[in-house]
A and B are shown apart, each in its own frame.
Chain A
Amino acid sequence: EVQMVESGGGLVQPGGSLRLSCAASALAFSTHYMQWVRQAPGKGLVWVSRINPDGSSTTYADSVKGRFTISRDNAKNTLYLQMNSLRAEDSAVYYCATVTSGHWGQGTLVTVSS
Chain B
Amino acid sequence: EIVMTQSPGTLSLSPGERATLSCRASQSVNGNYLAWYQQRPGQTPRLLISAASSRATGIPDRFSGSGSGTDFTLTISRLEPEDFAVYYCQQYGISLYTFGQGTKLEIK
Q: Write the residues of chain A forming the contact surface with B, with a CB cutoff of 8 angstroms.
A: 33, 35, 37, 44-47, 50, 57, 59-62, 95, 97, 99-102, 104-107
Contact = CB atoms under 8 A, between A and B. Distances in A.
Contacts, number: 54
Contacts of A60: 96
Contact of B97 (A35, A102, A104, A105): A35
Given A45-B45, A95-B44, A102-B56, A59 B95 contact: yes
Given A45-B102, A62-B1, A102 B95 contact: no
B43 to A, nearest CB: 9
B39 interface: yes
A102 B46 contact: yes
Contacts of A46: 99
